[in-house]
Structure formats: C-alpha cells, structure tokens
C-alpha cells in the first residue's frame, strides 16, 4: 500500500502542531508568593490536585496539537493507492481493450446489446485518451497479437466488431492483451476486459495466459474486469430440434423433437415448424418459470425424389432479449429402401435360417400399420445359388448376410472378398452346419474376422455377457439397457474362435469367449465384416442339434439387426447437424469422382470451393461458423452433380448465463491482481482510484471534527473542575 500527497509542501504545516507546546512554555506564569498560615493538610491536598490537573492539561494539549496536524495534512490532500502510480488523463498509455464477442453478449436491454454497451464505453474512453497512446483492440474470436493503433483508428476498428458463434476462451484473448502492452514503451499500461462474465466464454481450469510477461513492466499492468451482464436475465430459447434419424427411408415420416426453455417468468410462446422453407405446423407451448417443455412435430411422408430436407423450429408470440437462440436448425436425408441379401442353406419352414433376419429387416406388411414404409428389401437365396450370381450384382446390396452356411466355393468367397473391399458390408453367422476348414480357407480367411477352432460343449450353456464398446454404432442407441437384457438370452452352443489380426471383439459371452467380432478392410471405400459365433436363427425345438440359442426371441436381436444395415452401408453415425466450430464430415462416394465441392450458407455468405478428397470416403469442412442451413454441391465430369447439406447451430452454453464467481476470477488472474467493476459506471470510479489513489481528505476532515469535539469536551470538563475546586477552597 503506497501513499501520495497532492500538495506535499503543505504537509510541512504539520509542524504547527508544536505551537501549543511553545505557547505553553513561553506563556507559563510565575506563581505569586503569598504568606499564608502553614496548614499542612491543605498544602498536601493542593499538591495532589495540581498533579491531576497537569495530566489533564497534557491531554487537552495533545488534542489541540492533533487538530493543527490534521488540518495541515488535509490541505496536503493525501491519497492511498495499491494498483498503480499517480497519474493524470493526459499520460500516454498502452491501452488494451479485450472485447468478449461471444453470442451471449447479444443480450439486449434498453435497445442495446452488451456488446453495444462495451463499444459505447470504449468510445468515451478513447475520447479522453492522449493521441500519443497506443491502443490494442482485441476481438476474443480472433487469434494473434493486434498492431498498435491511434485512438482514432481504434474507434473505427471497434465499430466493426460483431458477435460470433465461435470464439477462443477469453484466457487466450487476455494473453494477447498482455503480450501487446508489455512491449509498449508508454509509461502507463492498462488492460480492460469487457465481458458479461459468462462461464461458457472462459477456460476456468487454468489461469489466463501471459501472466508471466507482466514482470517486464516496472510499474505493473493494471487489469480491469468489467461485468456487463444484465441484472435480471429473461430469455426464451429453443434448445433442441432433433430429427429422429439423420437418414430416413422413402415414404417414411420423421419426428422432430424440440425443447423450449425459459429463464425467468413462465411464458406461452408458439412453436413453429418449418421444412424446406415452408411452414408445416405450429403449437402453443406452456413453459414454466425457469423450466423447459418438449414439443414434437411430424413431417409429411417423404418423397425420395427430394433426397435432402432442411428445416428449423422457432418460437413467436413472446418478447425475448436474446435473438441467437430463438431458432434451431436441422437437416436429414431420404433414401430408397436398402437392398439386403440373405444367404443360407436351409429356407424351409421350421428350419429356415433366413427367416428371423428377414422378419427383423423386412417384416410382412400385413403385420404393420397401413402405410408403413419398407426400410429394407430382403432377398433370400440358397448358398448353392450364389455361384450363379454375378459379382457386379452384389453392388446393389447394402449388406449381405451369410447365416449357418455349411460351405461356400472358393470363387464365391472371392466374390464376397471383392464386395467387401469395394465398400460392402458382410455379416456372417456361425451355426451347426458350418465347417471350420471352409471358413479358414485361403479366400475366406481374408474376409472372416476369426479362425474357427471348435464348437462349444453343449453341456455348458451360457449367455451373452459384456459389451466391449458401447460407443459402437450397433450399441450406442441402446447402451443403457442392451447389456443387461443380453445377459438374459440363453446360448446353448457357439464356435470357439481365434480373432484374426486387426479384428476386434465387440461382444463376449458370460464365460469371456468372443460372441461378435468386427473386421474392417480398407479399399477405395471402407468395407466391414461382422462375425457372430452363434447363428442368427433359432429352432422351435430346444433339444434339436441346430437349436443353439434363443437370440431371435429377444429385443436386442431386432435392435442389433436394425442398426447393422445402415452401419454396413456407411450411413450409421452420419452426422448432418453440428455445433458452430465443429469440423463437418460428410460421407461421399469416392467411386463417383467428383472434382469440386461448393459450400454455401443459406444467406449466400461464406461460399467456398473445396477440392475432392483423394483417398478418403468423406469430405471434411473445417469449422464453419455462421448458424443456419448449409448446402454442398458436388460437381464432376460433364454434368454429374449431387446436392448435400448440413446444419449449424450455436453452442447451447451461450444462453445459459452461468456467471463466474470471485473465486474463479482469483484463479484466473491471481488474488488482488485485477480490479473488478460490476458495470461501466463503477469502472470509472475504480479507474480513478487506481490512477489517482483514494483521497483521505473526507476521512481527515471527519477525524478533525471528532478531535475538535473531544477538545471541547475536555476543556469544558477541566474548566468546570477547576472552577469547582476554587469555589470549594474559597468556602473553606
């Protein structure tokens, strides 16, 4: 803690405190001798009274001395300051202005956003800043240390600041500010962080960057953190608008699940559903205070001639202070029913190894509600008929199942090998009819994920056990329940296998043996092979030799097969809806050889031309930021063309308004290493305190008043006592 004096010379006036002492010494009267009878008792009493009076006179003397000293000190105008040195407005300054441009700064109050308020304060500050100063304008979304600007140039740059859906943590932006000001030779160094202090804009587990650089400045760098958050947050937000699937089947309908949240009072907005730019439905939604409500919309039946659909959910009929979270966007695709081929030896009633696969993927229309679309079209053939199938015909199938087949010819295994290496999906189920020698043969071993050893002991039945990877597309949707239900499925027999190099076990039996394995084959397009070590079929007679399990009777069987086909087709896990700042990955067909990809935002902004990926089956678009609908047009030789698309939504955390606490700021900047102001008005006072110190004049004047009062009380008391004693002596 330092102290300064505005008029240091006047502090010498404190020496006047010695004046009462001087007067006391020079004006002391010589006692007058009077002859009086020797009364010892009276003389002793006089001595005691004189001793008490002397002490009391000294207290009065000290009080009068304090009055003079304090008056001189008050005229000198002392100030305390702890963050910076004494200075005036005209001192050249290295001034860094860090603007939080995250979306939460768009909160509007009194027709001004938080960013507008930050700009207004900056404009006023720059008016008072000397032209010889260096100003560094830092946008939290832009990397790099900015160049020094004059106050006039800085004003123009501030005018161009805008809210952005993506940004770096403010830790890095403050680090830019420190890097800039410490290199400046101006005598005063200041950093202002203008933010709503939303937790989402900071990396709270680490300190701000560049704190170590502050040691270069002898007089230090004054850091001001200004909180521009609204006092009472009121916001309505569409927090979710998710289609039930990213890829739908022709003739199907898609359900859109939306959620609307209110911060503040209860509201009843109208949720509006748009698809391909056309309003489709709207519903009033009662949202409780500080709560959330779900609303669902259903699309019309989807026409396969329109392969890409984009829509959004928004609300109307309610006043809102934050615009960016009023709309949520989504995209999904429509495809024709996928073709699936099931190969088995037995297709007869009661011993049909294709029956349960076909019923799961392509059930009898009579068993479904009218108008239910077909997600898959299943074709069943016997293994012996595979030889008659041309290799090129396999390309029409999204997935091929080989279930409980005794053996395939080497040339047929070769066809399947080529099919997988060209990006196809093959699922193999092992049962009582399979022969190990055939599946371990030259061509088969290049495809099958494991080497067959022996069949398990029928006297030691088991169940399915541990799911080794819940993030796998086959299990991720049902991760919470599927393992527990699989553990209830009886498995009487299975094949003991040794996984091939590069294969991985996705599911095990209760005894630890592999139940489901996967192998991927890299080629022009990634191919996948799944191996079930027990058949995807059952027998009605549990004592039959072929009755190896009860898997088809459990719901995980249906769940696994429904997820298998899109996964094998490369559609499972295909994301079309992203958060701003994420890399977008779109599946492309490398066999079509598109040369260029044109990426456009719905408003025509940010058009970009990308070259075709050389060896990948996906197109990566790096971190597109503006929220809304995006389209990608792929062009190839001659007139070949394909339309793709995706949606970008702003980060949800931006509308949560969870503020930093003082402890968070202490961790970010260091305890007592920053000055906090709750608004721009408070900031002006804090800056004044730091630059000029906190004046003690009002406190000194209050102290003078107290001392004068005390002096009067002492003087009156002493004079009363003296008068009373004189009167008593006269009476005696």
Asked if 382 and 518 sit in the same domain, the reply is yes
Residue 493's contacts (CB-CB under 8 Å, 6 or more residues apart) are 432, 455, 456, 458, 461, 534, 548, 549
Alpha-carbon distance of 189 to 180, in angstroms, equals 10
Whether the Cβ atoms of residue 515 and residue 498 lie closer than 8 Å to each other: no
Please check whether residues 475 and 374 belong to one and the same domain.
yes
Q: What is the CATH number of the domain that holds 130?
A: 3.40.50.410
Q: Do 183 and 138 fall within a single domain?
A: yes
Say whether both 545 and 470 belong to one domain. yes
- Residue 451 domain flag: yes
Domain end point (choices 566, 586, 620)? 566
Is residue 153 in a domain? yes
Is residue 32 classed as helix, strand or coil in its secondary structure?
coil
Assigned domain for 486 exists: yes
Helices in 103-144 by DSSP H: which ranges? 114-127
pLDDT (0 to 100) of residue 708:
73
On whether both 410 and 529 belong to a single domain, the answer is yes
Which pLDDT tens digit goes with each residue over 241-253?
A: 999 878 887 777 8
C-alpha span between 181 and 220 (Å, rounded): 11
- Are 679 and 717 found together in one domain? no
Q: What share of the chain is helix, strand, coil (3-state, %, to 5)?
A: 30, 30, 40
The pLDDT tens digits for 142-156 are: 888 899 999 999 999
Question: What phi and psi, each to the nearest 5 degrees, are found at residue 293?
Answer: -135, 140
Domain that holds residue 532: 351-566
List pLDDT tens digits, range 102-116. Answer: 999 999 988 899 999
Q: Per the domain annotation, does 706 fall within a domain?
A: yes
The SS3 call for residue 361 is helix
Q: For the beta carbon of residue 565, count every other beta carbon within 10 angstroms.
A: 24
Q: Mean pLDDT of successive 10-residue segments in the chain (732 residues)?
A: 51 56 53 54 62 58 71 64 52 94 92 94 93 95 90 95 88 94 91 93 92 84 90 91 83 89 93 95 95 94 86 92 94 89 92 94 81 82 90 89 96 93 93 96 95 94 92 83 92 96 94 96 86 96 93 94 87 82 84 83 78 72 90 83 92 87 93 88 78 64 75 68 53 50
**Same structural domain for residues 260 and 207?**
no
3-state secondary structure of 586: strand
What CA–CA distance (Å, rounded) separates 569 from 419? 12
* 562 and 581 in a common domain: no
**Quick check: 290 and 263 in contact, CB under 8 A?**
yes
Smallest Cα–Cα separation from 332: which of 271, 258, 275? 275
What is the rounded distance in angstroms from the CA atom of residue 533 to the CA atom of residue 464? Answer: 11
Task: Find the CATH number of the domain harbouring 361.
Answer: 3.40.50.880
User: Distance between CA atoms of 607 and 624, rounded to whole angstroms?
Assistant: 11
The model's pLDDT over 62-100, given as tens digits with 9 standing for 90+, comes to 776 777 676 766 666 565 554 444 456 678 999 999 999
For the chain, give the longest Cα–Cα distance: 156
Contact call for residues 611 and 596 (beta carbons, < 8 A): yes
Question: Is residue 258 included in any domain, yes or no?
Answer: yes
The predicted pLDDT at position 446 comes to 94
Distances (CA, A) of 266 to 234, 235, 292, 668: 10, 11, 10, 36
**Nearest C-alpha neighbor of 431 from the set 404, 452, 454, 405:** 404
The residue assigned the tokens 């597309």 is 473
Q: Residue 239: which CATH number?
A: 2.60.40.10
**What is the domain count for the chain?**
5
**CATH code, 638:** 2.60.40.1930
What is the residue whose two structure tokens read 């109050």? Answer: 109
d(CA 86, CA 238): 51
CA distances 511 to 492, 508, 514, 515, Å, are 12, 8, 9, 10
At residue 395, φ and ψ (nearest 5 deg) are -65, -20
Contact 593, 637 (CB under 8 A): yes
Beta strands in 155-246 (DSSP E): 188-195, 222-227, 235-243
Domain final residue, candidates 566, 591, 617:
566
Q: Are residues 506 and 479 in the same domain?
A: yes
Q: Is residue 343 part of a domain?
A: no
Does 31 map to a domain?
Answer: no
| pLDDT for the residue numbered 365 | 78
Cα 219 from Cα 491, distance rounded (Å): 78
Report the alpha-carbon distance of residue 644 to residue 662 in Å, rounded: 47
- Give yes or no: residues 718 and 687 share one domain: no
Q: Which two tokens stand for residue 42?
A: 């009276």
- Cα 519 to Cα 425: distance, rounded to the nearest angstrom: 10
In this prediction the pTM is: 0.71
Say whether both 123 and 203 belong to one domain: yes
**Does residue 88 form part of some domain?**
no
Dihedral of CA 292/329/109/104: which sign?
A: positive
One domain for residues 57 and 161:
no
**Residue-wise pLDDT tens digits, 391-440:** 888 888 999 999 999 999 999 999 999 999 988 999 999 999 999 999 99
């Amino acid at each position: 803690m330092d102290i300064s004096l505005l008029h240091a010379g006047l502090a010498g006036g404190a020496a006047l405190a010695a004046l009462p002492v001087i007067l006391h010494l020079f004006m002391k009267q010589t006692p007058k001798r009077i002859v009086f009878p020797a009364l010892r008792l009276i003389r002793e009493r006089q001595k005691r009274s004189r001793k008490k009076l002397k002490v009391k006179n000294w207290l009065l003397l000290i009080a009068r001395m304090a009055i003079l000293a304090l008056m001189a000190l008050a005229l000198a105008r002392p100030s305390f300051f702890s963050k910076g040195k004494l200075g005036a407005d005209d001192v050249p300054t290295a001034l860094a202005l860090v603007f939080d441009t995250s979306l939460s700064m768009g909160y509007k109050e009194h027709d001004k956003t938080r960013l507008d308020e930050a700009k207004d304060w900056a404009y006023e500050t720059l008016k008072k800043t000397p032209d010889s100063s260096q100003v560094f304008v830092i946008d939290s979304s832009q990397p790099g240390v900015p160049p020094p600007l004059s106050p006039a140039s800085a004003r123009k740059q501030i005018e161009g600041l805008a809210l952005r859906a993506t940004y770096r943590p403010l830790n890095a932006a403050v680090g830019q500010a420190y890097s800039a000001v410490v290199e400046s030779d101006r005598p005063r160094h200041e950093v202002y962080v203008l933010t709503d202090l939303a937790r989402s804009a900071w990396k709270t587990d680490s300190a701000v960057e560049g704190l170590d650089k502050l040691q270069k400045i002898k007089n230090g760098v004054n850091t001001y953190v200004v909180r521009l958050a609204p006092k009472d947050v009121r916001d309505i937000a569409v927090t979710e608008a998710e289609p039930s699937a990213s890829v739908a089947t022709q003739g199907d309908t898609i359900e859109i699940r939306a959620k609307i949240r209110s911060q503040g009072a209860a509201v009843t907005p109208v949720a509006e559903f748009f698809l391909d730019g056309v309003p489709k439905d709207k519903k009033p939604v009662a949202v409780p205070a500080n709560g959330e409500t779900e609303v669902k919309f259903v699309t019309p039946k989807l026409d396969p001639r329109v392969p890409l659909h984009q829509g959004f959910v928004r609300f109307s009929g309610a006043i809102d202070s934050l615009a960016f979270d009023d709309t949520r966007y989504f995209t999904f695709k429509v495809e024709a029913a996928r073709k699936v081929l099931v190969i088995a030896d037995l297709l007869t009633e009661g011993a049909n190894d294709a029956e349960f696969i076909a019923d799961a993927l392509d059930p009898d229309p009579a068993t479904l509600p009218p108008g239910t679309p077909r997600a898959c079209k299943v074709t069943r053939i016997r293994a012996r008929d595979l030889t008659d199938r041309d290799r090129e015909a396999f390309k029409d199938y999204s997935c091929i199942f080989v279930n409980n087949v005794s053996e395939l010819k080497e040339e047929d295994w070769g066809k399947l090998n080529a099919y997988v290496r060209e990006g196809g999906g093959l699922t193999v189920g092992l049962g009582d009819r399979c022969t190990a020698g055939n599946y371990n043969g030259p061509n088969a071993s290049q495809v099958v994920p494991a080497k067959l050893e022996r069949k398990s002991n029928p006297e030691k039945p088991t169940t399915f056990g541990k799911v080794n990877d819940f993030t796998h597309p086959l299990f991720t949707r049902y991760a919470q329940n599927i393992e527990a239900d699989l553990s209830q499925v009886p498995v009487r027999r299975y094949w003991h296998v040794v996984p091939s190099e590069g294969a991985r076990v996705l599911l095990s039996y209760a005894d630890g043996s592999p139940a489901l394995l996967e192998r991927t084959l890299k080629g022009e397009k990634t191919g996948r092979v799944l191996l079930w070590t027990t058949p995807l079929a059952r027998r009605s007679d549990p004592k039959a030799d072929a009755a190896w399990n009860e898997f088809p009777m459990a719901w995980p069987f249906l769940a696994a097969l429904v997820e298998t086909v899109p996964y094998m087709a490369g559609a499972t896990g295909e994301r079309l809806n992203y958060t701003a700042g994420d890399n977008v990955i779109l599946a492309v067909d490398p066999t079509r050889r598109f040369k260029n990809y044109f990426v456009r935002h719905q408003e025509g902004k940010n058009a970009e031309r990308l070259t075709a990926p050389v060896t990948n089956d996906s197109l990566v678009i790096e971190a597109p930021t503006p929220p809304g609908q995006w389209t990608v047009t792929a062009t190839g030789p001659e007139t070949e063309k394909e339309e793709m698309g995706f949606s970008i939504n702003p980060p949800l955390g931006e509308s949560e308004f969870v503020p930093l606490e003082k402890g968070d700021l202490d961790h970010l900047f260091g305890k007592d290493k920053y000055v906090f102001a709750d608004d721009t008005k408070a900031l002006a006072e804090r800056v004044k305190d730091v630059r000029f110190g906190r004046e003690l004049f009002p406190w000194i004047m209050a102290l003078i008043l107290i001392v004068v009062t005390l002096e009067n009380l002492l003087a009156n008391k002493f004079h009363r006592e003296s008068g009373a004693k004189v009167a008593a002596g006269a009476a005696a």
